[in-house]
Amino acid sequence: MLLVGLSKMAREPIIICVCGMAGSGKSTVAKKLAERYGLKYYSGGDALRALAIEKGYKPLEKGWWESQEGLAFLENRGKNPEFDRTVDEKLLKVAEQGNVILDSWTMPWLLKKGFKIWLEASPRKRAERVAKRDGISVKKALEALKSKEEKTKAIYKRLYGFSLGEDFTPFHLILDTDNLTAEEVFQTLISVLDRMVFNK
């Protein structure tokens, strides 16, 4: 666990960004943290899913992002950066209101404020989690994650210039989740946030 101190966090509106590659556990723990602290929860993935529905896709079943249709939507995003810009503009407006947890791949770099958490996990462990979640083989999950992540990284590199999963400069906390249960990740983050963000 890597932790960097903040001095002004208590005097600013509460904004917490949770980030990590697919299968790192970010969405699960971000929702639990929002409930724990009475904060609003917003997901970049949910906003992208809503856009996909508007464009005629059907991202409703488990594992859609790693499916052929999900990867086709990703391909479309690569050709049309307005998809991602629209989502990020919405999340930035939400962040301005404060008292929010953002589950997003871009906000740690685009937002100047907030406490930013990166959940690290190995490709194998993430594939095992995705396989269990979506009812697919680990091999298929590994292949889907690799394809998805290469394309996603390329989109953000071109749009904003940062390297997702490689550049950790915005983060105040980096937590390796490989050998932790979801509950252990949650309890670890609570202990850090209580002290560094909520001054408990």
Q: Where are the domains of the chain?
A: 2-196
Residue 61 parent element (H or E): none
173 contacts 118 by C-beta, under 8 angstroms: yes
Superfamily in which the 2-196 domain is placed by CATH: P-loop containing nucleotide triphosphate hydrolases (3.40.50.300)
- pTM value is 0.86
Rounded Cα distance between 67 and 83, Å, is 19
To 5 degrees, how large is the angle CA 183–CA 19–CA 154?
A: 140
9's CB contacts (< 8 A; 6+ apart) are 115, 196, 197
What is the pLDDT at residue 8? 44
pLDDT tens digits for range 62-106: 777 777 787 788 788 878 888 889 889 999 999 999 999 999 999
